[in-house]
Structure 1
């Protein structure tokens, strides 16, 4: 289980998180960075200046920051990450408070899921922050939810020729995920960690993201699974509602 070190250095963590964000989202203002980290604009400015100095970022003429040459190009998600994060965070915080476990928002990027935001629980033994990390979509709970929403041909195109994925078996699993409306990752990506996922859909019925609840496997109890699924589905519906409101044409142009 990967948790934040007890001796963590906040300034280093903040700089690395900004580098991850630049790599994934492509552009940041000082005010965006300050809000993301929960620090003052002056602190965010100093952190970004160090990234520029070490070639992890570049400052544009309009005073925005973009990835520097030291950041390898990363495949970019087509989902509106900043908006999804803003809409989802209050609901994930409420979900974590109710369930006492860490929660995540993830998006599909190719054959991987990328963690957009994490709300850590306060239990001593917990699943830590995964922001910026990626996992194989066919193993992760949120990834299974998003793959299950894709047309079969798109799933085959993702994994055609892959010696690591048994396509017939994956098709059967995704059919079961569609039927149940949730997915479980029981130590498939990390020993000692179990996660449950639910889809976040758009008003048109597409799947834009997924949320998950991750816990130490020692606390996973199948007798509680249905209750957890109800909580996840309810939270996903609230995120869907707020995302739809935020993306309405009248809202976007207001």
Structure 2
């Protein structure tokens, strides 16, 4: 997911992962209910974050305090954990992807049915995602005419 606009768009569109029989074309979530959205909000400078939260009808009182605590955790740890924020029964872990010379926002995440999520492995999930994020960011900087055979190999 790439996002650049912060003032007008505070929601994220996600294609449905439901069965083929489900005709749902997509779901719209407030940013604070998704892994990508939490990473994006945590990346904002405090004044811009406050501006976004002030415009959110769900962003007042205890919810705002809880969200700010959650965003502080994302900033400290470098990963976001979505435990049933967007959907019951879904857990996702994600990290941001950055690369030199770009002001775009991107992330990489994995999601699990909650029954398969192992909280004891959270640090490991985040570590693997950070490694993948670093490699992806490095490859996004390389010019297309790079002559290194290693750089032309798909990520494994």
Q: Same fold (TM over 0.5)?
A: yes
Q: What does residue range 198-213 of structure 1 map to in structure 2 within 5 Å?
A: 198-203=95-100, 208-213=105-110
Q: 1:158 aligns with which of 52, 56, 61?
A: 52
Higher-Rg structure is 1
Q: Secondary structure at the match of 2:134?
A: helix
Cα RMSD, aligned residues only: 2.8
| More helix, by proportion | 1
Alignment equivalent of 2:92, drawn from 190, 195, 209: 195
Task: Answer yes or no: is 1:107 the counterpart of 2:2.
Answer: yes
- Match for residue 55 of structure 1? none
> Gaps spanning 5+ residues in structure 1: where?
1-105, 121-130, 248-254
Q: How many residues align?
A: 131
Return the alpha-carbon distance in structure 2 between the equivalents of residues 225 and 205 of structure 1.
Answer: 29
Q: Is the 8 A contact 2:101 2:141 kept in 1?
A: no
- Give me the TM-score of the superposition, normalised by structure 2: 0.71
Runs of 4+ deviating beyond 6 Å: none
* Alignment correspondent of 1:143: 37
User: Gapped runs of 5+ residues in structure 2?
Assistant: 18-24, 145-156
Q: TM-score of the superposition, structure 1-length normalised?
A: 0.45
For residue 75 of structure 2, the aligned residue among 161, 164, 178 is 178
Q: Residues 220-249 of structure 1: CA distance to partner in whole angstroms, max 9, x if unpaired?
A: 1111111111111111111111111248xx
Q: Distance in 2 between matches of 1:205 and 1:173?
A: 26
- Superposition deviation, residue 196 in structure 1: 0.5
Q: Which structure exhibits the higher relative contact order, with contacts defined as CA atoms closer than 8 Å and separated by 6 or more residues?
A: 2
